[in-house]
């Protein structure tokens, strides 16, 4: 029976490969990718058997697992995939070491100012767009890519993003797309935390964890009390549960209590919902909203 790839392992593999195909390498940024099982066994989820590939190279790798002429001329054999993976990960490691060593403090400060400008400009673009505009997703994809840049260069990008996310959260009272996409990017700020046996949590990570929960609280209360409703509540509460898992992995007792406190406040906010116009369905809507919150709240309580 196929064993599902655990979310923390999926995150770890994607982050280690910069969300980039190991065959395309530097030319693959921005392409849609998936995690390929090199030996063809979808239950063999050890890290050495997992490679990040774009859709084209994943298809070629699948063909390389088959015997005969199928896909002749367009095959990637398992040994080739392993070799590409090894080369790409070594390149990433060397580049990280090199950039940290060679970027002087003055240049880092200048780059940080540049990133602040670009993030502020992109934040204002998001605020100017209609809630369903597809450019909102593109803007957050750009933000997510910047998180990886921090780990490469050592520039304090996540703190700048948090300021932007805080500003955006206060504009989500009646929005649907924006709070859902923002919730996903908040989780992305701690994407690298896949367990203490693989990644150590820093004081900076803990501070970001706390700030993210504050923003989640705003998003959840707005969705519960105003127009966002159950779709937004599901998206927000789902990501808060991811934070509960991080708190459990790293034995962060105060942070875990804070997660449960955020759920309680969101649940209370749902009771204040007042629908526009006729109020005959108000009780049902409040009940539906609170049921969504309780589902994820109970799940967070069970995480130990």
Report the run of H or E that residue 85 belongs to, with start and end.
Answer: helix 78-102
- Among residues 49, 79, 100, the one where a domain terminates is 100
Q: Is 70 within a domain?
A: yes
**Do 157 and 150 touch, CB atoms closer than 8 A?**
yes
SS3 58: helix
Rounded alpha-carbon distances, angstroms, from residue 29 to 32, 81, 286: 9, 18, 43
Of 28-32, 57-61, 84-88, 129-133, the one with minimum mean pLDDT is: 28-32
In a domain? residue 1: no
Whether the predicted pLDDT of 70 surpasses 60: no
Domain-terminating residue out of 73, 100, 127? 100
Whether residue 2 is contained in a domain is answered as no
**Residue 36 CB neighbours (<10 A):** 25
Query: DSSP labels for 240-277?
Result: HHHHHHHHHHTT-HHHHHHHHHHHHHHHHHHTT---SS
> Residue 226 domain-assigned?
yes
Q: Are residues 287 and 162 in the same domain?
A: yes
The DSSP secondary structure of 209-223, one letter per residue, reads: HHHHHHHHHHHHHHH
Q: Are residues 298 and 159 in the same domain?
A: yes
Boundaries of domain holding 124: 105-302
Confidence label for 100 from pLDDT (cuts 50, 70 and 90): low
Which of 250, 263, 257 lies closest to 205, judged by CA?
250
Residue 104 or residue 242, greater confidence = 242
178 and 115, same structural domain?
A: yes
In a domain, 264, yes or no: yes
pLDDT (0 to 100) of residue 104: 65
Higher-confidence residue of 49 and 101: namely 49
């Amino acid at each position: 029976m196929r064993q599902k790839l655990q979310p923390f392992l999926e995150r770890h593999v994607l982050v280690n490969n910069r969300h980039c195909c190991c065959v395309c390498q530097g030319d693959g940024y921005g392409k849609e990718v998936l995690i390929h099982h090199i030996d063809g066994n979808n239950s063999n989820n050890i890290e050495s058997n997992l490679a990040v590939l774009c859709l084209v190279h994943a298809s070629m790798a699948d063909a390389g697992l088959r015997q005969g002429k199928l896909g002749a001329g367009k095959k990637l054999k398992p040994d080739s995939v392993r070799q590409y993976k090894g080369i790409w990960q070594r390149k990433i490691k060397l580049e990280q070491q090199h950039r940290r060593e060679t970027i002087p403090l003055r240049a880092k400060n200048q780059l940080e100012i540049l990133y602040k400008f670009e993030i502020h400009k992109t934040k204002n673009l998001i605020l100017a767009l209609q809630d369903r505009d597809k450019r909102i997703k593109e803007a957050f994809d750009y933000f997510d890519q910047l998180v990886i840049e921090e780990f490469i260069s050592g520039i304090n990008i996540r703190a700048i993003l948090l300021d932007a996310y805080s500003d955006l959260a206060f504009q989500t009272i009646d929005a649907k797309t924006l709070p859902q996409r923002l919730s996903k990017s908040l989780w992305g700020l701690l994407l690298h935390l896949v367990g203490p046996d693989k990644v150590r949590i820093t004081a900076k990570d803990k501070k970001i964890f706390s700030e993210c929960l504050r923003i989640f609280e705003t998003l959840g209360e707005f969705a519960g009390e105003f127009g966002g409703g159950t779709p937004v509540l599901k998206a927000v509460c789902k990501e808060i549960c991811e934070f509960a898992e991080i708190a459990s992995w790293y034995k962060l007792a105060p942070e875990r209590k804070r997660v449960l406190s955020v759920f309680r406040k969101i649940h209370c906010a749902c009771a204040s919902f007042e629908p526009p116009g006729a109020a005959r369905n108000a009780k049902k809507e409040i009940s539906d909203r609170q049921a969504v919150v309780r589902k994820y709240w109970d799940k967070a309580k069970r995480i130990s």
